[in-house]
Amino acid sequence: MIGVVLLNFGEPETASLDEVVPFLERIFASNSSLEPGMSEEQVRQRVAQLAQQRAPGLVEEYEEIGGSPLGKQARAQAEALAGELASRGLEAEVVIGMQFTEPSIGEAVDAARAAGSERLVGLPVYPLCGHSTTVAALRDLERAVEAAGWQVPLAQISGWHPHPAYLAMREDAIRDFTRSVGVDLADPCTRLVFSVHGTPIKYLEAGSRYDRYAEECCRWVAERLGLEDYLLGYQNHANRGIAWTQPEIDDVMNAAAASGARRVVVDPISFMHEQSETLSELDLELKEIAEEASLEFHRVPIPYDDARFAGVLADHVEGAIAAGPAAGLKLRECRCKPQGGVRCLNGDRLA
């Protein structure tokens, strides 16, 4: 029996302060190293301050979108993966472990153990490998296994955005959507804009290659679409007043208008679920900015329910447990998280 822990960010499914404040406190606490030099008590106070500041606005966002659908979509992806693994003759228990909501990563480990798993695979459902997402989630998984006192073989997969089927999913999502709304990407008045979740510059300076993964993923999808002219912008959350990735997605809207565009097609390429960052930050806030710049706004839906995605995940599970390459994947030692025998599709690329 293989236990597969699908690692995810998590989001509150209801718009209540009782859920949102603890969610934010966990996020801010996990990134407390961004503001070094504080005592444990100062960190606790700072985390509480940041959470209280951000909570009302986030509650309002969740109310506007009717709560986050991330959890529901993640559960459906886990069920699809279990079915795909079964079709390949693999007995597996697929569980979800959220970094910042329930079920926690610790609870996921307990569930996999209770199911009789004899080996464990940790697989973050993040297309692009980042410090506070992929790497942090895998570290949390290691800690949870250790805390449980479970002596189980643990295989870990990190970066997987180069998977050909994943790139095909993103390409087809854009093609299908633009066809449905009657937009021609080859029209010189149309700009394809990739929106990527931002990350603090400090993480890049410390060795994260997240920005390079984002740039190449966008380039590959654009090439598959036959496009040379596209834009990339980052959705930054600058709560701490530190530098984040550039350019800001808001500024990209104005840049598109200044270049002569009349419409934008926005693809949230770093996401595999609909959530507040897509349904609120893009569909409501960014749309307003685009329209103020006299741009017609279109947003590509996340292909979270694409039938091929279960196959992408299953390929990585097989690759994690196989002695050699599986499904044609060339998994190499991960450079973003070199400890723990983590493997990925990035390896020694983008040195």
Taking residues 223-232, what's their average pLDDT? 97
Residue 78: pLDDT above 90? yes
| pTM recorded for the entire structure | 0.92
The pLDDT value recorded for residue 351 is 60
Mean pLDDT of the chain: 93
Q: What is the DSSP letter of 118?
A: S
Could you tell me the domains of the chain? 164-299 (3.40.50.1400)
- Residues 256-279: what's their mean pLDDT? 97
Residue 325 predicted with pLDDT over 70: no
For 117-179, the DSSP string reads: -SEEEEEE--SS--IIIIIHHHHHHHHHHHHTT----EEEB---TT-HHHHHHHHHHHHHHHH
3-state secondary structure of 138: helix
Who has greater pLDDT, 31 or 71? 71
Separation CA 47–CA 265 (nearest Å):
36
Reported as a single tens digit per residue, the pLDDT across 4-50 is 999 999 999 887 888 888 888 888 887 787 778 888 888 788 988 98
What does the pLDDT read at residue 326? 54
Local confidence band at 137 (pLDDT 50, 70, 90 cut-offs): very high
- CB-based contact 132:31 (threshold 8 Å): yes
